[in-house]
Amino acid sequence: MTTSPFLDLPVLGAQASAEVAAKLRELGDTSSATTIEAAASNGPTKFGGAKTWWPFQDRAWQHTAHAFGFLPAKAGSSVIQPVGNLEADATLRNSRLKIALNRLRVADYPGRGMHRVLIDFYARNQVPGHAEDLHFNAAYRVREGQQAPIAGYPIFIGLNVGSEGVAFRCHTVNVKNDADEALLDFLEGDVFRSGLKLATSAQPAIAPLANLALGITKSVAKRHRNVSVQDFYLGLDFTGTTMGARLAIGDYIAVQIPESFTAIWRWEEWIYDGATGLIVSKSDASKLIPYNYVVFGVSRYED
């Protein structure tokens, strides 16, 4: 599935100024909404189709681009490399994997205080003679400027890898609608904390379960005071193309950054601090990445 199922639910940073302002008012951020409306009324400040009405450039939720990094699964490893520089692990071809959420950092989501974050995880399960599109929901509580208290949260267990690799997508929704609290409490329950367990053959129940999970995410995202924040797709394969991403054992990091940063982002400026579990500046360990990010781990599945 290369076409996003969330085309009708663009992240906040991809919406028009009037829509962004209206959503921020729903979330109680009237100051930012008023500032956006005032800036938009004056029209773009540059010629061209770029979104130039933004009156500020320091809100992490306003960006739509992502930088992808990789941290190898080696004891004491701290060096993060671009996914384009990664060498594929050919032994993972036609194998089975465990996919887990290792970090979810909310540097800046719309609204303030404690956030309830609903995530839709997508992957393609490639069993012999059949490919299954998977969706799995999970919900987390994260305070503004912090990361969720999770590591190794199972998502897909026993994911079957084909000869070409795997596809992975992540879509996050900031939930502020009180009516959705009970649903998120359910998604935080023990049943979902065990992840989605997969078999080596086609499972008839997978399709309806995937559709149900996708339907939940889309329904919640459309509700009053809820809004999509991050959406990214990562295809991990075994080829050597320069601009692609390869499949290997380790952690994949997706950072939501400004589009203008994609050409200048340098992973060598950041390292993983094993003592704190944070990604910090190589030159100043007290400096954190000022953007929202998701980290998911890929490991071999042992039956």
Q: Is the pLDDT at 291 greater than 60, yes or no?
A: yes
Is the pLDDT score of 194 beyond 80?
Answer: no
Per-residue pLDDT, averaged over 17-39, amounts to 91
Provide the pLDDT for residue 196: 87
1 falls within a domain: no
Same domain, 89 and 124: yes
The more confidently predicted of residues 302 and 204 is: 302
Radius of gyration of the chain (CA): 19
Residues of the chain above pLDDT 70, percent: 92
Q: Do 31 and 85 share a domain, yes or no?
A: no
Can you give the pTM of this predicted structure?
0.90
Q: Are 60 and 256 in contact (CB under 8 A)?
A: yes
**Which pLDDT belongs to residue 170?**
96
Query: Cβ(62)–Cβ(12) under 8 Å?
Result: yes
Instruction: Indicate whether 47 pLDDT > 50.
Output: no
* Segment 155-159 mean pLDDT: 93
Q: Which of 171, 194, 190, 195 is nearest to 121 (CA)?
A: 171
pLDDT beyond 70 at 101: yes
- Whether residues 28 and 159 share a domain: the answer is no
Mean pLDDT value across residues 224-248:
91
- Give the per-residue pLDDT at 46: 44
Start-to-end CA span in the chain (Å): 27
- The helix or strand, by DSSP H or E, that contains position 41, with its residue range, turns out to be helix 30-41
The residue among 5, 8, 11, 7 whose CA lies nearest residue 228 is 11
User: Nearest to residue 293, comparing CAs of 264, 274, 270, 275?
Assistant: 270
**Mean confidence (pLDDT) of the chain:** 88
pLDDT surpassing 60 at residue 50: no
Q: Specify if 187 maps to a domain.
A: yes
**Least trusted range by pLDDT, from 48-52, 244-248, 250-254, 299-303:** 48-52
Structural contact between residues 102 and 299, judged by C-beta atoms closer than 8 angstroms: no
Same domain, 154 and 224: yes
Q: Sorting pLDDT into bands at 50, 70 and 90, what band is 187?
A: confident
Strand partners, 4: none
Domain identity same for 236 and 137? yes
Burial class from Cβ neighbours inside 10 Å (0-12, 13-18, 19+) for residue 63 reads: buried
Domain identity same for 31 and 107: no
147 falls within a domain? yes
What is the count of structural domains for the chain?
Answer: 2
Q: Is the pLDDT of residue 111 over 50?
A: yes
- Based on the domain organization, do 259 and 112 belong to the same domain? yes
**Residue that wins the pLDDT comparison between 77 and 250:** 250
Specify whether 148 is located in the same domain as 285.
yes
Whether the pLDDT of residue 150 is over 70: the answer is yes
Q: Are residues 37 and 78 in the same domain?
A: no
Assess if residue 29 is contained within a domain. Answer: yes
Reported as a pLDDT band with limits 50, 70 and 90, residue 149 is very high
pLDDT at residue number 52: 59
Which amino acid is residue 40, in one-letter code?
Answer: A
Which of helix, strand or coil describes residue 14?
helix
Judged against a pLDDT cut of 50, whether residue 49 lies above it is answered with: no
Whether 160 has a pLDDT exceeding 50, the answer reads: yes
Q: Domain range for residue 164?
A: 64-300
Give a yes or no: residue 2 inside a domain.
no
Cβ–Cβ < 8 Å for 105, 147: yes
How would you class 157 by CB atoms within 10 Å of its CB: exposed for 0-12, middle for 13-18, buried for 19 or more? middle
Nearest to 119 by CA among 4, 219, 217, 193: 217
Q: What is the pLDDT of residue 212?
A: 84
In this structure, is residue 154 part of a structural domain? yes
Mean pLDDT of 128-155: 90
Q: What is the pLDDT of residue 130?
A: 78
Residue 164 and residue 76 share a domain: yes
Query: Which range, of 23-37, 148-162, 189-203, 248-262, averages the lowest pLDDT?
Result: 189-203
Residue 4 lies in a domain: no
* Whether residues 263 and 204 fall in one domain: yes
pLDDT at 185 over 80: no
Does residue 128 share a domain with residue 146? yes
Task: Using the predicted structure, report yes or no on whether residue 271 has a pLDDT greater than 60.
Answer: yes
Among 125, 122, 118, 135, smallest CA distance to 212 is for 135
